[in-house]
Structure 1
Amino acid sequence: MKKLIICEKPSLAQNIATALNIKNRKDGYLEDDKYIVSWAFGHLYELKDIKDYPGYENFKWQDLNDPFIPKFEYKVKDDPGVKKQIKVLKELMKKDIESIINCGDADREGQLIIDNIINNCGYKGKVERLWLPEQTSETIREQIKNTEDNINFFHLNQEGMARTLMDWLLGVNLTVYLSNKTGVTLRVGRVLIPILKFIYDREIEIRNFIPKKYYVIENESVIKLTCKEKYNLKEETKNKIEKLNQNKAVIKSINEKDLKKQAKKLFSLSTLQSELSKKYKIPFKISLDVIQKLYEDGFLTYPRTNTEYLADNEKIKIKSVINAIKSNGNYKDIDFKDSKSIFDSSKIESHSAITPTIKIPALNSLKDIEKKVYETVLNRFLANFCNEDCIISEREMIINVGEEIFSLKGKTVKKEGFLKYESEEFNDRLPNLSVGDKFDIEFKTIEKETQKPKRITESNLSKYLKNPLKKFKDEDIDKENEDDSEEYEQILSGIEIGTEATRTGIIENAKKYGYISQEKSNYKLEPLGEKVIETLDKLRINLYAEKTVEFSKILKEVYNGDKNIKDVINLTENELNKIFRNNTTIEKIERNTREIYGVCPKCGGEIYAGEKNYYCNQYKNGCNFSLFKKIKIYGQKEVEITDSKVKMLLEGKSILISKVPSKTGKEYDAYFKLEIGDKYNNLIFDKFKDTKKK
């Protein structure tokens, strides 16, 4: 008898078929004498809507006076391709098969997707689980020999199910409740609300910011020396300056010491996305897609992980990866290293840090963005297994001016070590002075001004969601905590908002709903998003960080077997009942509480942002102005039209586009302007960036 392998995606099914040398392709599956390999397209089943339940066929949102808590049922997605594939899978399950192998992605969602298919198709036989930390042929062949009983993943399934049901209950009920209260559609959810609140708080902080002048005392003669104190009044600095300037500066001591610098930890998904955002300005949405593709191509390990460590039982595998890398390049300084800073199973929930696999790509075969992502992971891996110490020489110069003591530090690279793979800049601008040297000083009062807070960036938001109860400063985003045991203890107990797998998609939803916008890596609160938070506050609905963390911890208890799905539903129902019992009346929201991006060049209406385009608010009156957010120049170069760019275009200005392909294959930088057509609008060439260019 054969085994039926059901994969989460067609690409994974093809990888498994290739690894097992299964070539006989049928309609919706492949097979040989041992295996049948079929697939889903992600979720084939979805939870029923309110209208799908008996008695609610004519349901309207205004009818919902109490929380809707159904006996949950699933339905097949309303998609022809999905319905066809479900039929294929049902027919395959009727065959005389030995067992079904669940080959969803190696996470709770993947577990749930295939379990739902098996259960809803009515299969009652044996089920195994194929867990793939990577999609190389070698790993697939090895893991197919070591499948486990699917029952061993029951708690993972239950956590995934509990999360799904909780999010449905909160998302559906609160969306209807808030929409009824305000008169406009406000889509909200367990993870979206704290994301929006975090951005809202910073926006209000920026809006209420009033710059304040302050004064410091500085010397610019020979070397810059700055006193630590800050003064509110200029007059307060006078006596201090007079006292300091009666002296000469004296070099009291110069100390030099060598420090052994450690490589940064391996990547979790969020730290990898943050690195790519900082280094290459790649948005999280795009980097996630590229990272996922490199995983599906077998070049990277499973990416949706929240840890920066490897499991202790992976040491043999990592040795193989190191050997594969060394055989593909000149890496004589790379060797296996059994270090607690790399291998620590106590800091892993289910998936290890992201690393390369033994399948090494030809870099010239990768697209530019794929190459950047892969090399970023590879270089971090090489840095961790570099066998040469990285030595940084640190000099500290102590300078006395009367009783005032100044400490100046400078760093230089004494021994490169891992920095050849992940370079850093070190500045040593200390003056060429010796102990006992003296020099004249001239301290002055310098007027300064407090700086406005910066907008929330992708990296800020990512770090906050991973540890929402910790207070981060913006400058701490890239800092690593040497002793992160407490942080990982919190992560493993559920103190996170969302998961590595879902956060990016939920942030994209917040943008789609018009709650926030994004300019480069910065998030901006939009008027409708502000109204959401104001409405929640007026109705005294607190689903912000602390409350969401409570929910997350409950879900983790389901995973640990300490709670069950019924507990989660009861908890959620109680929370919803408290909200629905609130009879507070609030003003309706004006429907045009949206940012206006400019004047319509066709009818003079207002231009709003949709999910995929900018459009005129007079579309119901016949205006067809629309400009897609992604436009292809000459059918080749895809350009993203950001909020700032559309404003410029609507004002009649040109926008700069880099690396536009020419007919000869070369690239050039040029300005393009908006061309208004009868039906379609586009960008047309205006002028070269280099005006001398012909």
Structure 2
Amino acid sequence: MVKKGADEMTTVILAEKPSQARSYVEVFQKSTKKQGYYAVSDPVLTQNTFITYGFGHLVELATPEKYDEKYKHWTLSNLPIMPDNYKFIVPTDKKAQFKVVKDLLSKADTIIVATDSDREGENIAWSIMNQAKINLKTKDIKRLWINSLEKDAILNGFKNLKDGWAYYPAYKEAQTRQISDWLVGMNGSPLYTLLLRKKGVHGVYSIGRVQTPTLYMVYQRDQAIKNFKPEPYFELTAEVLANQQKFVAKLDPYQRFKDEKCLITFMQEKNVQKGRQPGLIKSVAKTAKKSASPRLFSLSSLQSAINKQYHASASDVLKAVQALYEAKLLTYPRTDCAYITNEEFNYLVSNLVKYLGLVSANVSLNQTEPNKRYVNGKKVQEHHAIIMTKTVPTKEKLAALPKLQQQIYDLVLRTTLAMFAEPYEYEETNILIAVAKANFKATGNVPTKQGWKTLFNENSQKKDSKNITLPAVKKGQQVQVDLKTPQKETTPPVPFSEGTLITAMKTAGKTLDDEEAQSVLKDVEGIGTEATRANVLEVLKKRGYLITQKNKLHVSDQGVTLCKAVELEPLLTSPAMTAKWELALKQISQKKRTQDNFLEQIKKFVTKMIHDVPGQMEQSKSLTDQVKKQQVSEVKANEQAQLGTCPLCKQGKIVDKGRFYGCTNYKADKSCKFTLPKKWSEKTIGKTAIKALITKGTTTKLKGFKSKKTGKKFDAKLKLTNGKISFDFN
């Protein structure tokens, strides 16, 4: 074998998608565009370097029918489906690009994996390399690992390439996740669909290792709200008049009373009565307090914050952050980390004046020493928190961005700058008032230094309810007290929003809205990953299981049926169990567990599910009741969807078939081929007009038709003759 000289060696850079490849090409000194790849040259590259790309996943797991024709039709007897070896295929529409990539990889001496710097990026690259059937042991495999698409970051990344094989375990983890999801979905979906069809429910029911427990969390919340019975209770509060100023104090220690009798007994014991009576200031305690700025953003905390503030979906937030990353304005988005390293801190410090120019707040950013609340290299494993890049846009460039991108950049900017501002400082005052034998406490906060809050005040319309200014009183001072006994009711749980559901997924069902509480949940793995959670929610919405109403998520009737069916199999619905799976998957990339070990667990679960679920569903009364309820709603929906009896076969009903209106016997009975178009002479024909055609054979005069000959618009009636539609100018 003749050894190649340095000038004959070929390097191939494999990007994830065309836009990413272009970002790399733009930083190199010379480039020539070819069909499906670029020839590039630059001092940081070796000679004979080419950049090629996938379209995301060029290689996918084959569906069951690719293993055996019998799997084309779902039957319970075909389950479980568990191949000995998993087949991967290249979709037809991606074969041309795959051939380009394969040919280049085959000739390469060095392959630089330059897909997204995460597990899924590894999966995309290694799947392509394996499918190309090349001997990877004969190649020098390197890894480009960057946090930004800025020119400096890319060039620095290519100067400091990492060992590609070091990331191979991350690929095995991602592939195992892909296969395990395939096993659960390809067995669970036909299992539940066929069993529900036996019970008389139509449609296809999709099961997913992550999507099913996520849906079930929303279902449980909906049920808790639906079954909630408000309970009345009484409070005892004091309206205190001191120095001509009124303020409210609550019972200390606070308690509520389940009925009036308990309240009266308490008041008698404490020798107090409703209405006005004297009180005494027992103590006045003032404490100076500080509050640190919010933690830096991970993807999920950013999705939560933006959803809360602007009601954007998790998927839309991810797309917008990705666009800001590709525009070189924000760092890598799919991160679960809330920390940065000293390196990022230093470049932020050097650009503070420029960043501050983008906000109108008059705030001092003098905290330029790293604080471990935000800067901790030991906590940054793969990617740091989402922050601004060194590229600082002009106000004009920001204003030209889509609205959501502007809102996201602004929030990331202010949150990042806040760590350089002084703490928010306030004085907390606690006043204890004695009324006979009862004590009441009032708490008020007086801001003494706005600090980092100045950055957010200009955007905030809400006043801080905690900032209650109390009058200056002294210990031993006599005051007038008006005791009140308001009757209240307990409140139901709050429905999930996409933001709070993302948080619940991250904390494995422990719905902690407070970021401090989340941060102390050591070793709790969420369900899904930062990269996949938004997609899980989108899938649940597209399949009609989740519906959004005024930023609140609820489960549809179809979703309720699925939840009633799956709740009998706790391993499918348990966020805690799914979180343990995520932890086990992570152990694969840490080389603490093998792919085979994990997949054996999944196979055991699938086998158990196929064995247990038919009996469970047969015995479930609540599922039977729900099926009946859904059948009634399906009948109503079908009746509402019917536009009239078919004028051709006189038996079927005319319904909306997507691209046209047609007879319900159109598919089942090929002899009835009656259809009506949705558009006629460039005018959309509405359902009212279709009903009129079917029942009367003609419509009233309709506006907005367009002549093919003249291009002019005109009005006309439509008529139906022998199943054919035409104009009626009479």
Q: TM-score range by the shorter chain?
A: 0.7 to 0.9
C-alpha separation between the residues in 2 aligned to 1:206 and 1:328? 45
Q: Which amino acid aligns with 1:440?
A: Q
In the TM superposition, residue 367 of structure 1 has moved relative to its aligned partner by 2.6
Deviations 1:162-189 (A, max 9, x none): 1111111111111111112111411011
1:127 and 2:107 matched:
no
Asked if the contact 2:444/2:470 (under 8 Å) is kept, the reply is: no
Q: From the two aligned structures, give the one with the greater helix fraction.
A: 2
1:61-116 per-residue CA deviation (whole Å, 9 max, x = no partner) reads 4442334334101000232xx22211211232344x33111111010000110111
What secondary structure sits across from 1:174 in the alignment? helix
Indicate conservation of the 8 Å contact 1:69/1:169, yes or no.
no
- Residues 1:412 and 1:554: Cα distance change in structure 2 (over 3 Å): same
Which residue, out of 331, 353, 371, partners 2:406? 371
| Pair 281,543 (structure 1): closer, same or farther in 2 beyond 3 Å | closer
- Identify which of 221, 229, 233 aligns with 1:210: 229
Residues 146 and 601 of structure 1, relative CA distance in 2, 3 Å threshold: same
> CA separation in 2, counterparts of 1:307 and 1:467?
14
Report Cα offsets for 1:204-243 as digits up to 9, x if no partner: 1111112222222233463323333322222332354462
Runs of 5+ unmatched residues, structure 1? 628-676, 679-694
Q: Does 1:324 align with 2:354?
A: no
Q: Identify the range of structure 1 (405-414 vs 587-596) with the bigger mean alpha-carbon deviation.
A: 587-596
Give the structure 2 partner of residue 292 of structure 1: 322
Give the structure 2 partner of residue 647 of structure 1. Answer: none
Per-residue displacement from partner, 1:583-641 (whole Å, max 9, x unpaired)?
Answer: 51638857757688899598389xxxx9x9999998777798999xxxxxxxxxxxxxx
- Match of residue 14 from structure 1: 22
Query: Which residue number in structure 1 is paired with residue 255 of structure 2?
Result: 229
RMSD value over aligned CA atoms? 3.2
* CA distance in 2 between partners of 1:520 and 1:598 (Å): 27
Residue aligned with 1:248, SS: strand
Q: Which residue of 2 aligns with 1:185?
A: 204
Are residues 230 and 322 of structure 1, via their aligned partners in 2, closer, same or farther at CA, if it must alter by over 3 Å? same
Give distance in 2, aligned partners of 1:623 and 1:344.
66
Equivalent residue of 1:255, what SS? strand
Distance verdict in 2 for CA 1:439–1:546, change over 3 Å: same
Segment of structure 1 superposing worse, 459-468 or 581-590: 581-590
Check conservation: 1:603, 1:623, Cα contact below 8 A.
Answer: no
Verify the 8 A CA contact 2:445 2:469 in the aligned structure 1. Answer: no
TM-score when normalising by structure 2 = 0.77
Question: Does the Cα contact within 8 Å between 1:264 and 1:380 map onto a contact in 2?
Answer: yes
Partner of 2:175: 161
Residues in 1 aligned to 2:658 and 2:345: alpha-carbon distance in whole angstroms? 46
- Equivalence for 2:31: 23
SS state of the match for residue 442, structure 1?
strand
Name the SS for the 1:535 alignment partner.
helix
Q: Which runs of structure 2 are paired with 1:132-531 in the superposition (5 Å)?
A: 132-183=146-197, 184-220=203-239, 222=241, 223-227=247-251, 228-241=254-267, 243-245=271-273, 247-310=277-340, 314-327=341-354, 329-330=356-357, 333-334=365-366, 336-365=368-397, 366-386=401-421, 388-423=422-457, 425-426=463-464, 427-435=466-474, 436-468=476-508, 470=510, 472=511, 476-481=512-517, 484=519, 486-487=520-521, 489-491=522-524, 495-531=525-561
Equivalent AA in structure 1 for residue 388 of structure 2: P
2:263 partner letter: T
Q: Counterparts of 1:618-629 in structure 2 under 5 Å?
A: none
One-letter amino acid matched to 2:222: E
Q: Residue type matched to 2:408 in 1?
A: V
Displacement of 1:291: 0.6
Greater CA drift, 61-70 or 395-404:
61-70
Question: Could you tell me how far apart the structure 2 residues matched to 1:430 and 1:565 are?
Answer: 61
Distance 1:364 1:22, change over 3 A: same
Of 91, 99, 116, the match for 1:87? 99
Task: Give the AA of the match of 1:115.
Answer: W
In 2 relative to 1, CA 287–604 (structure 1 residues): closer, same or farther, beyond 3 Å? farther
Aligned to 2:117: 106
What does residue 690 of structure 1 align with? none
Distance, in Å, in 1 between the alignment partners of 2:499 and 2:663 is 38
User: CA-to-partner distance for each residue in 1:454-482, whole Å, 9 max, x for gaps?
Assistant: 21122321121111163x3xxx5144239
Whether the aligned pair in 2 keeps the contact of 1:67 and 1:573 (CA below 8 Å) is no
Cα displacement (A) at 1:552: 1.5
- Work out whether residues 241 and 444 of structure 1, in 8 Å CA contact, stay in contact via their aligned partners in 2: no
> Hey, what's the Cα distance between the residues in 2 that align with 1:451 and 1:57?
50
- Residues in 2 aligned to 1:348 and 1:620: alpha-carbon distance in whole angstroms: 61
Is the Cα contact below 8 Å between 2:345 and 2:375 reproduced in 1?
A: no
What one-letter code is carried by the residue in structure 2 that aligns with 1:43? Answer: H
Change (3 A) 1:535 1:278: same
Counterpart Cα distance in 1 of 2:678 and 2:570: 39
SS state at 2:516 partner? coil
Matched, 1:53 2:67: yes
Contact 1:409/1:428 (CA < 8 Å) preserved in 2?
no
Percent identical pairs in the alignment equals 24
Code of the residue aligned with 1:429 in structure 2: it is I
Distance across 2 between alignment mates of 1:614 and 1:275: 39
Distance 2:65 2:483 in 1: 76
Q: Does the CA-based 8 Å contact 1:322-1:335 persist in structure 2?
A: no
Alpha-carbon separation, structure 1, partners of 2:588 and 2:88: 21
TM-score by length of 1: 0.81
Q: Which of 517, 521, 534 is 2:564 aligned to?
A: 534
Query: What SS does the corresponding residue of 1:100 show, helix, strand or coil?
Result: strand
Provide the rounded CA distance (Å) in 1 between the counterparts of 2:385 and 2:165: 26
Shift of 1:190: 0.6
Instruction: Describe the shift of the 1:536–1:359 C-alpha distance in structure 2 as closer, same or farther (beyond 3 A).
Output: same
**Aligned partners of 1:394 and 1:411 also within 8 Å:** yes
CA–CA distance in structure 2, aligned partners of residues 108 and 173 of structure 1: 25
User: What displacement does 1:156 show?
Assistant: 0.6
Q: 1:539 to 1:102 in 2, by over 3 A?
A: closer
The amino acid across from 2:219 in the alignment is Y
Q: Which amino acid aligns with 1:357?
A: T
Following TM superposition, by how much is the alpha carbon of 1:433 offset from its aligned partner in structure 2, in angstroms? Answer: 4.2
Cα deviation for residue 574 of structure 1 reads 1.1
Q: Which amino acid in the other structure matches residue 238 of structure 2?
A: N
Say if 1:251 and 1:397, in contact at 8 Å, map to a contact too: yes
Give SS of 2:427's match.
Answer: strand
CA distance in 2, matches of 1:467, 1:288: 19
Aligned residue for 1:244, secondary structure, equals coil
Q: SS of the residue aligned with 1:173?
A: helix
Q: In the aligned structure 1, how far is the partner of 2:381 from the partner of 2:576?
A: 22
What is the SS of the residue equivalent to 1:581? helix
Which structure has the greater CA radius of gyration? 2
Judged with a 3 Å threshold, the aligned counterparts in structure 2 of structure 1 residues 77 and 335 are, in CA distance, closer, same or farther, namely farther
Which residue of the partner structure matches residue 555 of structure 1? Answer: 585
Number of residue-to-residue matches in the alignment: 608
Over 3 Å counting, the alpha-carbon distance change for 1:514 and 1:131 in structure 2 is same
Q: Is residue 122–residue 168 contact of structure 2 (8 Å, CA) maintained in 1?
A: no
Preserved CA contact (<8 Å) 1:465 1:496: yes
- Over 6 Å off, 4+ runs: 593-599, 612-627
CA positional deviation for 1:518: 1.0
| Change in CA separation of 1:328 and 1:351 when aligned onto 2, cut-off 3 Å | closer
8 Å contact kept, 2:79–2:187: no
1:598 and 1:451 map into 2 onto residues whose CA distance is 37
Q: Tell me the SS of whatever aligns to 2:495.
A: coil
